[in-house]
Structure 1
């Protein structure tokens, strides 16, 4: 994971949500979940279409669906190319947000 996000400028790494969050410009981009898999930040307008993919669902926190956040199950990240695609997607969206 660090190799994939390492090329990002303004990158921070913090323990949160029982996992390890990678932030770009102070905005969370992707979280390696302690339970396995990833939480990935995406454009909320793309969430529904991305959830149609197998092994991808909306992030639910305290019973509430979190707009713009997806959970990708570990089986969908087994290939390096698949992991890279999700990490790139999360980082690309985080770069569009105002720096914190």
Structure 2
């Protein structure tokens, strides 16, 4: 098993603007989004809420999954999030508490 990697979806608010990404360090990457450390999509649209993620055994697997998710329609992504996180709770606290 290579370094664990994460595919994640962030939202501006429940059912708001969505961003899908991949990282080997989920806590650091979400922190960067939340703090608007980098000027990118998430800082422009204030996408700060981690609402869904899954772990993969290696980065190539995670990147392939990210690409598949990005091709899906918004309604499919909303369903994916709502199945595991029906209240769209910010999951970042689960890692930092």
> Normalised by the size of structure 2, how large is the TM-score?
0.29
Q: Which is richer in strand?
A: 1
Q: Which is richer in helix?
A: 2
Larger RCO (CA within 8 A; separation ≥ 6): 2
